[in-house]
Structure 1
């Protein structure tokens, strides 16, 4: 069977299973299995696939037909120009979450123009999951100290694997949200908290793929804000509060999130798509 024959057959199979992008998924699985890039695969439609290759591909396609997320099948996901290891213990990184890194870099750029730049920046990633945000923050801002927390031991193992993969050192702490770092006492102006917490309302299931991801990393009660309520309550109790807090939420949640932040003495400074920047009011 040639690449063209295989593509035609399995694009149809994925289409019948109502997979969103059958051609893309087929090409990605071909690239991974053949260890070739997209350009090579597309340029060699007449290439004959060997029997063992076909067996491997059939197993992968069967998993995708069952609506297992492509990232879990591959064991990796693309985020901010790099691959990160993923498995069913962690949420698959979303492209929109790259806004955290862009906003963080903007804050650092602004900081360099002030007296704050004389002391070390500390970034805390709350609910790190795969560690994609914490690891990327360290790669993009190598002079910063990066701490990442998660309540799930298996998630922390994935985060550690990604830190090792990208050859950086971050501090990983187990616990619920801000619990592990509640006694830290860094200078307020040099601490930024990233909180990409679950915010999907429990009734909002948009695809079978979402149901394959860890529910605790996605859903957060009826209105999707249960985790943020706990988070902002913890923030209000911190001995030393960070100058900036970055969050992610749906547009319809923005007003309620601003109220939660206000009760913790924070105000909205910027909104970039789904990502918000809060700054200490006083």
Structure 2
């Protein structure tokens, strides 16, 4: 008879690109064990209560609900974050944004950060956890997302380092300057988004970048000069399809700055860095 892990993997085949991995993660969540433990115990069986939880989770997954929302949490940069359908699911490529930001902050001994579009708070919290004297302002248009972000900050004991603000970009902020302004703003063109599976699975507010995908990024870059400290850095995640347009825009707004494109682990242009 197939193991429970094999049975769950088979059930997930129709809806998952990685059914074996998803089955491992799901069973680890249900049993409150490590994924390595699940792999090492093919004889695993569940209690009646655990079986009910598994069936409910499988039903949700087969209806198209993403695994992180079913679990209620997801890992990012080695940290576990609460997630809900009100926030974008943290992506591995965004960990590179954190890596670039940490490297620059440490090299420049800079200690003030503004993050736009914080969502679950994963970027701000990862930065704060790795630089204990960092002070951050994290902004989002969604009150529901900010509720999740505040919970995550408290869970990771960095809520004293991060102030969360409900704002449409800079509109509700008090005048200040920041060493680093960073963002993973919505950047998928509206018409493109409607053709993607993610359109019905994650919040459009966190995905829709307007007609050309640069609507919010353009607004941020236009307003950023008055908020960026001298010798500061703007670090943005972009879609590879419009990095050249963003590069041209940044060059117009910051003609005297050093502007670079940085690649993700797959070698694609993914991040825009503007060093004033």
> Normalising to structure 1: TM-score of the pair?
0.87
Which of 177, 190, 195 lines up with 2:183 in the alignment? Answer: 195
Name the larger-Rg structure.
1
Equivalent pair of 1:124/1:146 in contact (CA under 8 Å): yes
Question: How big is the alpha-carbon RMSD for the aligned residues of Structure 1 and Structure 2?
Answer: 2.1
1:223 deviates by 2.0
Contact 2:180–2:228 (8 Å) recurs in 1:
no
Residues 1:268 and 2:259 aligned together? yes
Regions of 4+ moved over 6 Å: none
2:150 to 157, 160, 179: 160
- C-alpha deviation, 1:241, in angstroms: 6.5
Greater shift in the superposed pair: 212-221 or 41-50: 41-50
Helix, strand or coil at the partner of 1:180? coil
- SS of the equivalent of 2:190 reads coil
2:209 aligned partner? 220
SS in 2 for 1:204: helix
Corresponding position of 1:29: 26
The one of 133, 145, 149 aligned to 1:143: 133
**Per-residue deviation, residues 129-183 of structure 1 (Å, max 9, x unmatched):** 1000111111111112111011111111111001100011211111111223361
User: Which moves more between the two structures, 236-245 or 168-177?
Assistant: 236-245
- Cα offset for 1:267? 4.2
Cα deviation, 1:79-118, whole Å, max 9, x if unaligned, reads 111101110111111111111221112212331xxxxx4x
In structure 2, C-alpha distance between the alignment counterparts of 1:133 and 1:259, rounded to whole Å = 26
Gaps of 5+ in 2: 265-269
Match of 2:102 in 1: 105
User: Structure 1 211/263 Cα, relative in aligned 2: closer, same or farther at 3 Å?
Assistant: same
20-29 vs 47-56, greater mean Cα deviation: 47-56
Answering whether residue 172 of structure 2 is matched by residue 180 of structure 1, we say: yes
Gaps of 5+ in 1: 112-116
Give aligned pairs, total.
Answer: 266
Higher mean displacement: 200-209 or 40-49:
200-209
SS in 1 for 2:210: coil
